[in-house]
Structure 1
Amino acid sequence: MPDATSTGVTHRRVMLKISGEALMGDQGYGLHPPTVARIAQEVKSVHDLGVEICMVIGGGNIFRGLQGSAQGMERATADYMGMLATVMNALAMQAALESLNVFTRVISAIPMDQVCEPYIRRRAVRHLEKKRVVVFAAGTGNPYFTTDTAATLRANEMGCEAVFKGTKVDGVYDKDPKKFPDARRYDRVTYDEVLEKNLGVMDATAIALARDNNLPIIVFSLDEPGGFRGILAGKGTYTRVQD
């Protein structure tokens, strides 16, 4: 396994945040195995550069707490159900990565020892040092917090140099580029601009946590083949969120 510094990549340790919906492919629900396999291949291509990678995957392809709450379910219960959905997604990603011979650990904020490890910060850091991909599941372990916030929290705890937010578009726009042809993409935007203009990069808690710790957020298209690896090599199209 090469060292990241010897391969010319821009970051040594990163957090990759993707939504649960990213695993659906063209389906309207659940997991699409070819899509999971494609994303796993993207992760492997970066891992092969010697970059230490941790991940947080949302659960919206299976259950979204806010939607459950909107339909009359108690918010805390709905959020816990959403957390369990993220564990299912994390296990699917682990299986896909290990089929590519990438050692992977799923670490859950809600203890469930039969299927994954409990969250212990120093143990998680050690996994990264051993070049294992670490997938953090079950959010922060608390209701009312999104997986965006969980990704920013864990990235800070792990000493990541940036959060890479994989989306369906190649950066942050002033409005939805799929609806408005004149939408303008930002090459760089500050945390405060994201909050003031409600640009929808991540929720406000995640952005504030990144700002307070000067943690850059790189927004890029997960649908672009080789995009994740390209950005780490200093190429590609993306938006950088940082002061």
Structure 2
Amino acid sequence: MQKTIYIVAGGPEAYIPKLENDQDVLWIGVDRGVYYLLQAGICPHIAFGDFDSVNEAEWAVINKQLTNINRYLPEKDETDMELALLWAVKQQPALIRIFGGTGGRLDHFLANVFLMARPSILSSLSCTIEMIDEKNIISILRPGTYTIEKIADKQYISFLPLSREIIDITLIGFKYPLKDQHVSRGSTLCMSNELIQSKGTFSFKEGILIMVRSMD
């Protein structure tokens, strides 16, 4: 049975939804995210990081409770999140969700978005990768047909081309429908749409798309 993997990174804690243990989830802690998990009563399966964002007392807690820690020097080529995500992808999970990847430093946030969309990751993974915070759900999508359900507290749905162009995007069941539209990177055509039914469908033939479901 494929596992669902949740990765908890060390972004500002105020942006992270309440974390609740689930036996069907494989938890990964990244740097300070390991401490967040332990504070929530969740012991991660594996941890990655240089742990330069925790103090000595917090590191002592982490080191005492975990045995599977991959600790690195701060001077390295990969970010802590990259190391964790590459490990997660190798497990061939059913779903990957990232928490603690937004807020705080914009360079970290943008790096995480581009990391989720790395061609080598997308080509070797059949599942969806999502990055979640208190107000947003960010998904990276490949060509195909998708059905989504209305989420009461995240009514706005935006589609942003990450590749140079999205070919033949079609939106059905949305306030602003589209039919076989070409959308170029930088276009705001597909910003702040909404479902007008309990479910909607969208599809596109070529490109890489970012879907953001948000609340005000």
| TM-score bracket for the superposition, by shorter chain length | 0.3 to 0.5
TM-score scaled by length of structure 2: 0.41
Higher percent of residues as strand: 2
Structure with larger Rg: 2
TM-score scaled by length of structure 1: 0.37
User: Which has the higher relative contact order, 1 or 2, with Cα contacts under 8 A spaced 6 or more apart?
Assistant: 1
Higher percent of residues as helix: 1
